[in-house]
Structure 1
Amino acid sequence: MGEGVPTLYEWAGGSEALSRLTQTFYNRVALDPIVGPVFRHMSPDHPAHVAAFIGEVFGGPNTYSERHGGNREMVMHHLGKHLTEEQRRRWINLLADAADEVGLPDDPEFRSAFMGYIEWGSRLAKMNSTLGETCDRETEPMPSWSWGVPGGPYKPPAGKS
């Protein structure tokens, strides 16, 4: 990206915003009859780990890779789960609702990039969930997601904020 263009991580509000997002999201997930059962044995630290993962993918610090094993470890968490399309779609909808609830930026450019990533990532998670119980690859590169629109993030018209 060009100099001075914030990362998606910065535009979202950094680690605090992503932590609020994942905590709100997983509170919803726990109560949901479609995706809740997938997460019934979720660690209390799970929302923080996912916030760190998304943060790293969106251009933030390498916290997930340094503390939790990087993308290969995330792939390993999905193996053998046999996620359904209904569960994948519910996951996306709950995450989009949580983004609204916690006040993530709602400009079209950010939301397009955000939704593009969760659509892409959830499809990979579903695909990985049908694989065996181990990942044969030694490393799995960390995804890197950025603005999907040339020119970067939304800029309100002059005089509006």
Structure 2
Amino acid sequence: MRGSVYDAVGGDEAFLALARAHHARCLADPELAHPFSGPDQHPRHVERLAAYWAEVLGGPPRYSRGCADQTHVLWLHSGNGEIDDLGRRFLACFLLALDDAGVPDDPELRACLRAYMTWAVADVLVYSPVDAVVPADAAMPRWSWDGLVS
């Protein structure tokens, strides 16, 4: 039996390295730099992002217990208008950051992470219209080797 995606990535330190690498790539992107460096950026954004990804992908519930819930995550990304290109750029930065962070080059793991982030970007984009309403009780997503766990 295969362990969690969280374990395959390498645990907390690996997710922190991935979040750092992803953040650096986003800051280097001319379109993503603004939302990733603006005054609304939480001072511990990278650590919180690492905790979020780790939890969603099978790690401990540090994000939902110590930071925020899924409703807050969706709210943070809501109401921005048409941002499809930012979503594509975000995904591209994530995929490149996998190598930057030294995530194992296991094809099944990489395919799982790509599928997760493709889904996650699409999920956030649902709430990008200016008049979007974020559900008050959005469940924290859980992603396994087989995709979204319902």
Structure 1 and Structure 2 fold alike (TM over 0.5)? yes
Decide which moves more: 25-34 or 91-100.
25-34
Structure 2 unmatched ranges of 5 or more: none
What is the CA RMSD across the aligned residues, in angstroms? 1.7
Q: Distance in 1 between matches of 2:14 and 2:91?
A: 18
| Residue in structure 2 matched with residue 142 of structure 1 by the alignment | 140
Q: Which amino acid aligns with 1:26?
A: H
| Residue in structure 2 matched with residue 78 of structure 1 by the alignment | 77
Give the superposition deviation at 1:148: 2.7
Q: Distance in 2 between matches of 1:112 and 1:85?
A: 22
Q: How many residues align?
A: 145
User: Is the CA contact 1:82–1:126 (under 8 Å) kept in the aligned structure 2?
Assistant: no
The 3-state SS of whatever aligns with 2:8 is helix
Report which of the two structures shows the higher radius of gyration computed on alpha carbons. 1
Q: Is 1:116 matched up with 2:115?
A: yes
Map 1:61-76 to 2 at 5 A: 61-76=60-75
Structure 2 length normalisation: TM-score?
A: 0.89
Q: Distance in 1 between matches of 2:132 and 2:85?
A: 22
* Aligned residue among 8, 11, 22 for 2:5: 8
The 3-state SS of whatever aligns with 2:140 is coil
Please give the per-residue CA displacement for 1:71-110, whole angstroms capped at 9, x wherever unaligned: 1111111111225222111111111111111110221111
| Residue in structure 1 matched with residue 87 of structure 2 by the alignment | 88
| Residue in structure 2 matched with residue 49 of structure 1 by the alignment | 48
Structure 1 unmatched ranges of 5 or more: 150-161
User: Is the CA contact 2:26–2:32 (under 8 Å) kept in the aligned structure 1?
Assistant: yes
Q: State the percentage of identical aligned residues.
A: 29
User: Is the CA contact 1:53–1:64 (under 8 Å) kept in the aligned structure 2?
Assistant: yes
The 3-state SS of whatever aligns with 1:91 is helix
Give the superposition deviation at 1:131: 4.8
Task: Mark the CA change 1:133 to 1:127 in structure 2 (over 3 Å): closer, same or farther.
Answer: closer
Give the superposition deviation at 1:117: 0.4
